[in-house]
Amino acid sequence: MTVRAAETTTSAWIRRFHPAPAAAARLVCFPHAGGAASFYFPVSRALSPDVEVLALQYPGRQDRRTEPCVEDLGTLADLITRELGTWCDKPLALFGHSMGATLAFEVARRLERDGVRPCALFASGRRAPSIHRDDRVHLSSDAELLAGMVRLGGTSAQLLEDPELVGAVLPATRADYKALETYRYAPGPALHCPLTVLTGDADDQVNLDEAAAWAEHSEGEFDLEVFPGGHFYLAAQAAAVIAAVRGRLATEVPGLAR
């Protein structure tokens, strides 16, 4: 992988809400299924200027809504890994929630394969990649898919009463679920970077055993952080989650204060 100093401009893939050229490290944030880069705007604001947040924008949503969605998680990981080659001139950490956690893991594997070791991987709200459930949400009807989004807590029921908004978010959400649910973990070398797993104690998408199973996927230091709440626990627990992220990064990155 070619590593060069990052430019101030962003690509279609990356949103740099609070540019911080002097930051000690960068944190790449991977959205959940149906999610967008804007989900991580508060994280960027909270960590800047010590840590520069790069929030990923997948195709098929918001300002990329005219682009075809990527329905294969491995392909998406390949595209993102290639994009991040520009940003590896300083310590790079990865944070993903739900689908984003599995995707961040696959990107971390590719980065390490290419000689770039992330300084930390944060996997939130997702069971270990090696644990498979036979989920088929992407085959649901539109009404079932929308009801599931509301039930998980990441989307307001009131917003989904807007037909225009539904038409904008539904295709990307379905494509993301297809990418996640057709993903199959391919055995390979464990990561070497520190791995922090974060989960809600009432999340029916991942139980504590499934969260703890992430430990087998890295030879680096492993931490499991459990917070009150369901699948989108991190909305109500934002301050505590950000503190956990900052604390781990401060351990790994010289000069970064807690």
CA distance 68 to 83: 18
Tens digits of per-residue pLDDT, 228-237? 999 999 999 9
CATH of the domain at 198: 3.40.50.1820
Burial 26-44 (b: 16+ CB within 10 A, else e): bbbbbbbbbbbbebbbebb
Establish if 55 belongs to a structural domain.
yes
Establish if 47 belongs to a structural domain.
yes
Amino acid at 179: A
For residue 101, is pLDDT > 90? yes
Establish if 128 belongs to a structural domain.
yes
Establish if 160 belongs to a structural domain.
yes
Candidate list 44, 98, 124, 218, residue with the active-site label: 98
Establish if 4 belongs to a structural domain.
no
Among left, alpha and beta (phi > 0; psi -120 to 50; other), residue 175 is alpha
- Residue scoring higher pLDDT (168 or 105): 105
Residue 48 pLDDT? 96
CA distance 71 to 181: 10
Q: For 85-237, where are the alpha helices, taking DSSP H only?
A: 99-113, 142-152, 163-181, 208-212, 233-236
Least confident piece of the model among 75-89, 156-170, 192-206, 227-241: 156-170
- Domain range holding 231? 14-252
| Closest C-alpha among 139, 245, 149, 163 to residue 196 | 245
Confidence of residue 84 (pLDDT cuts 50, 70, 90): very high
In Å, how far from its chain's centre is CA 9?
A: 22
Q: How many CB atoms lie within 10 A of CB 189?
A: 10
Establish if 6 belongs to a structural domain.
no
Q: Is 98 a catalytic residue?
A: yes
Mean model confidence pLDDT for the chain: 90
Tens digits of per-residue pLDDT, 135-190? 887 777 877 777 777 777 766 555 566 777 777 788 999 999 999 999 999 999 99
Establish if 7 belongs to a structural domain.
no
Residue 249 pLDDT? 97
The total domain count for the chain is 1
Tens digits of per-residue pLDDT, 12-29? 999 999 999 999 999 999
Tens digits of per-residue pLDDT, 232-255? 999 999 999 999 999 999 999 988
Establish if 258 belongs to a structural domain.
no
For residue 219, is pLDDT > 80? yes
